[in-house]
Amino acid sequence: MKKFISSNLLRIMMAFVFISAGVYRIFFPEAATQELTDLRLPLFLVWPIIILEIGFGILLLIKKYKKTASAVLIVFLLLAVLQVLIAQGKEIWQRVGELFVFNTSPTDVFLHLVFVAILLTFLVATMSKGSNDVPNNRQDD
């Protein structure tokens, strides 16, 4: 039951990440265009990216083709990170310090909520009876 709750929580959160990203691009096409320009990618990719994010996000949400949807989205994210490093790698390394400062931006708030969900998943997973992660008063030699 605990595994069911935690894995579903993460699946639903990831589905909403991708669905909301795609919907955002629809309502703010200039942001999507700027993103692709910054990444040095062709602008015709805006709609395929929107379709990919919303389509595979919905598949995750409704639990259809979960493995395929997860694999596609993993590859998509890895390619995006690779492209960022190719297009703006030097700037990324110069700003790496912001990883360790909590900013009052929507990105940081959302990222910290994701951290909470991941930690809750770990907590629920380790709360099973007899878990080695739970301290006890017994001293082992």
| Alpha carbon of residue 121 to chain centroid | 15
Tokens 């062709």 found at: 42
| CA atoms of 8 and 38, how far apart (whole Å) | 34
Sign, Cα dihedral of 24, 30, 32, 34 = negative
Structural domain count of the chain: 1
pTM above 0.85, yes or no: no
60, 11 in Cβ contact below 8 A? yes
Instruction: Give 34-67 pLDDT, tens digit per residue.
Output: 999 999 999 999 999 999 999 999 999 998 988 8
CA-atom Rg of the chain in angstroms:
19
In a domain, 137, yes or no: no
* Residue range(s) defining the domain that contains residue 52: 2-126
Does residue 96 lie within any of the structural domains? yes
Average pLDDT, the chain: 84
- In this structure, is residue 102 part of a structural domain? yes
Q: Is residue 105 part of a domain?
A: yes
Indicate whether 131 belongs to any domain. no
- Residue 139 belongs to a domain: no
Does the pLDDT value for residue 133 go beyond 60?
A: no
The CA distance from 87 to 92, in Å, is 10
pLDDT tens, position by position, 78-93 = 999 899 999 888 888 8
